[in-house]
Structure 1
Amino acid sequence: MKKKVAVFRKEHFNAAHRLHNAEWSDEINAKVFGKCNNPNYHGHNYNLDVKLVGEIDPKTGYVIDMKVLSDIIKEHVLDVFDHKNLNLDVPHFKELNPTAENIVVVIHELLEKAINKPELELTVRLYETERNYVEYPA
């Protein structure tokens, strides 16, 4: 029986965003999103955990080469998100509110496509603060 192993990669990026629903009035946006609706945006120091679960390749001894995973995360997440205004600079959020929930789903989709190994189970956890984090899939 082949054994499955979970491997993890931690990363970090900084980004600004504004939580806002264009279909709502300023009053409703302020009530729902509070300080996160600041018209001048606000930022977070995001921490990212990427988890892959799969069988160990008998030839390499790896689930995935961690250098390859690191390079994928850099190209498809860090280069896209780090030191950016998510609302203005990241095309995925032109029409999508950049909540932590939406950000983690977008990151998962970007990584899943780039890794392109359906036999590996991918989970992404995103920390918006030390106390607040989201995970996809749940």
Structure 2
Amino acid sequence: MELVAHWRLSKQALIDLVFFCGVPIVLAMLSVVLGPHAATMGGAGATLYVLSLAIVPWCLTGLATQLVSKTAGRRLPLWLIAAIGAMAAGPFVSLYVYFVNSIALEILACAGRFAARDVQRGTSQIRRPVRGAGYRSLDRLCHHFP
């Protein structure tokens, strides 16, 4: 009984948990359903791609805001702490998004070879992405497939 009482969340903690976990997931799912990602990556790939671009930057910004809050204490207003936290997280979020997008571009470059036959037959609308920096090594891998 004591363990159950220990794990019980307060009402405010439950509201915070739903907000900080639910909002990025719901927005990511709306982006998958309403955006063009599902047509080019498929349902599972688009879900993984959009969730990785929604949850991790959200968490990085939250961590940066916590660090600013601990450093500043109660001297600054809450809106200023949130703004400084978001600005501090900006370079890290930008680097993370660049990393995820470079991986997705390389995967789509290889997938474009598989979809090229379907495009010629008119059964798919997948466009071949721009070639990235690591395209040569990936191109060798893709040549193994007809």
Q: Is TM > 0.5 for Structure 1 vs Structure 2? A: no
Question: Which structure shows the higher strand fraction?
Answer: 1
Q: TM-score range by the shorter chain?
A: under 0.3
The TM-score, its normalising length taken from structure 1, stands at: 0.26
Tell me which of the two structures has the higher relative contact order, counting C-alpha pairs closer than 8 angstroms and 6 or more residues apart: 1
Q: Which has the larger radius of gyration?
A: 2
Question: Which structure shows the higher helix fraction?
Answer: 2
